[in-house]
Amino acid sequence: AQSVTQPDIHITVSEGASLELRCNYSYGATPYLFWYVQSPGQGLQLLLKYFSGDTLVQGIKGFEAEFKRSQSSFNLRKPSVHWSDAAEYFCAVGPSNDYKLSFGAGTTVTVRA
């Protein structure tokens, strides 16, 4: 069965500093991977996705993620965070032959001035 682990429940980062959020997945074949962001009381917005091809994926809002098959990871990065990046971030995985996605428990990011 597929699953996703986000090891960090909460991360605090200073504005302007770099950010890296970890995501580890469990799935037998090549997965489809997603990162979503959720502001308080809102729905989820897609940041980026990996289906195939280049393992470094660029997304919106200056985010990028790197797919590492050998480590079963899909970590999200941003070189310089802004106060507006404070939110909850979810990693998700899905196989190509199934409509179902599995979501991690999420990582809450706090940005301090």
The residues binding other proteins (CB under 8 A) are 4, 9, 32, 34, 36, 41-46, 49, 51, 90, 94-101, 103-106
20 Cβ contact partners less than 8 Å away, ≥ 6 residues apart: 75, 76, 77
Nearer to other proteins, 26 or 80 (CB): 26
Question: How far, in Å, CA of 71 to CA of 92, rounded?
Answer: 16
The minimum distance between CB 37 and other proteins, in angstroms, equals: 11
Nearer to other proteins, 17 or 60 (CB): 60
Question: How far, in Å, CA of 13 to CA of 86, rounded?
Answer: 9
The minimum distance between CB 94 and other proteins, in angstroms, equals: 4
Cβ(39)–Cβ(47) below 8 Å:
no
The minimum distance between CB 113 and other proteins, in angstroms, equals: 26
Return the ∠ at Cα 36 (arms to 32 and 39), rounded to 5°: 170
Nearer to other proteins, 15 or 86 (CB): 86
